[in-house]
Amino acid sequence: MRIALLAAAAASFTFAYPVQAADLAATAAALRDKALTDTTAWDVTESLTTEVGARPQGSPGMDRARDWGVAKLKSLGFENVHVETFETGSWLRGAESAEVVSPYPQKLQILGLGRSTPTSAGGLEAEIVLFKTLDEMLALPPGSLKGKIAVVTQRTRRTQDIKGYAAGVRARSSGGPEAAKRGAVAYLVRSVSTDDTRLPHTGGGGASGIPMAALSTPDADLLERMVARGKPVRVKLAMASTQRDKAPAYNVVGEIRGRERPEEVIVIGGHLDSWDAGTGAVDDAAGIAITTAAAKLIADLPQRPRRTIRVVMWGAEEQGGSGQAYADAHASEVANIIVAGESDLGAGEIFNAKLPQGSLDHPAMKAFVAAVAPLGAIISSQPAQDGGADVAGLKRLGVPVTEFQQDASRYFDLHHSADDTLDKVDPRELAQNVAVWAVFAYTVADSDIDFRKTATAGK
């Protein structure tokens, strides 16, 4: 009798899991279809860009964004909505201008880079030394640019992923300090962008102690043509800014609590802050909206998932600090954070999905793969390596990450510029993102998958 009971129990167990897997797959498919017609992500993007607009770290706009985030999460039914306050640096722009004073006087379009030092009240005028690549400037010895304005006009290649940007961003992030080491009194860099408008693109520069600014791409070309004529080119800069090493910053958090294992958490989100030139629609209101809408769709299911889904609106990605602050604040629960990921590449369609190491054969991820197949997302055989800047701190503590690669073909036309506005967001592409994120978050939250174990088993 005992043997018969054990056999019956074993048969019941082996039958139950396939039924659960089938239910998981069916619900995932239904979520996908619902996401494609749901307008929550668009409504959230529209709300943030219209009601708050630009929101640099340390600005009144960021304070408004904090309050907006709390109100929005509460209105959508999230639980445990709260603000986690920390301190990080804040650089805020003042009045800026640039012009060629000789030999061919013309105005230039610039945007100061984060951490730029202001000029004196009367401005700064000097001859430029132009380099077509950062490496050309790096080949010079210390002191070789004394009294000059260094200009790097390195181009950014348009690619579907971020490789073109990644190859060019060093000119922006480290060019200023390197120019200062060589004695330059200021640094100008071609915008790390793929557009051809006269709208410059800002971004973080390295602390250098000199004024630093991004040129619009046509103005970078203009300086190249002037220099090619063989006459010394002099430029005048007038730049104002304020820098605080410590300013209040905020991560805004809300949860969809799990029904069985609420202490186990899936962390997803985007960054709430933005640069000041546009309204931060693609960078990163879209990411906030995508992940918030995905969690909201899951919350609206007849039954909550087993695990908790936590949405984080990180408050200082552009100038740095929010991801590490979040990791420090949650270090004690790292063992219970199942996976983390950030949406921060606009609203272009997800064309590639990288999952945590060794997880492709798990029934939950099989359900995910099957559900997103109609969306055109290719499942990579390579594991996720980069879940986003704001989950890098969690990753260093051992939290598995996921990486959904969006089509960035147009993203760097807009990124960090005055053109980063709501009209550039395609509602259909935005919805495709929501569908992928919703299916992933649900299949993880309503299953027993342990990415740490799948990674170990795969080695």
Distance CA 280, CA 56 (A): 10
196 and 177 in contact (C-beta within 8 Å)?
A: no
- How long, in residues, is the chain? 459
**H or E element at residue 97:** strand 79-102
Q: Radius of gyration of the chain from Cα atoms?
A: 25
Question: Which of 441, 57, 71, 39 is CA-nearest to residue 271?
Answer: 57
- One pLDDT digit (tens) per residue for the chain, 459 residues: 333 433 333 333 333 445 477 899 999 999 999 999 999 999 999 999 999 999 999 999 999 999 999 999 999 999 999 999 999 999 999 999 999 999 999 999 999 999 999 999 999 999 999 999 999 999 999 999 999 999 999 999 999 999 999 999 999 999 999 999 999 999 999 999 999 999 999 999 999 999 999 999 999 999 999 999 999 999 999 999 999 999 999 999 999 999 999 999 999 999 999 999 999 999 999 999 999 999 999 999 999 999 999 999 999 999 999 999 999 999 999 999 999 999 999 999 999 999 999 999 999 999 999 999 999 999 999 999 999 999 999 999 999 999 999 999 999 999 999 999 999 999 999 999 999 999 999 999 999 999 999 988 755
**Other CB atoms within 10 A of residue 35 CB:** 25
> In the prediction, which pLDDT does 16 show?
41
Enumerate residues 6+ apart whose C-beta is below 8 A from 42: 289, 425, 427, 430, 431
pTM summary value: 0.94
Distance CA 164, CA 247 (A): 33
236 and 125 in contact (C-beta within 8 Å)?
A: yes
> In the prediction, which pLDDT does 459 show?
59
Q: What are phi and psi of 248, to 5 degrees?
A: -60, 140
> In the prediction, which pLDDT does 11 show?
36
> In the prediction, which pLDDT does 2 show?
39
Find the catalytic residue in 178, 255, 317, 318. Answer: 317
CATH 3.50.30.30 location in the chain: 104-232
Q: Is 264 marked active-site?
A: no
> In the prediction, which pLDDT does 21 show?
76
> In the prediction, which pLDDT does 458 show?
58
> In the prediction, which pLDDT does 6 show?
34
Residues 245, 119, 182, 138: is their CA dihedral positive or negative? positive
Say whether domain 104-232 belongs to CATH 3.50.30.30. Answer: yes
274 and 283 in contact (C-beta within 8 Å)?
A: yes
The identity of residue 77, as a single letter, is G
Q: Which option is the CATH number for 24-90+246-457: 3.40.630.40, 3.40.630.10, 3.40.30.10, 2.130.10.10?
A: 3.40.630.10
> In the prediction, which pLDDT does 337 show?
98
Provide the token pair at 312: 């984080």
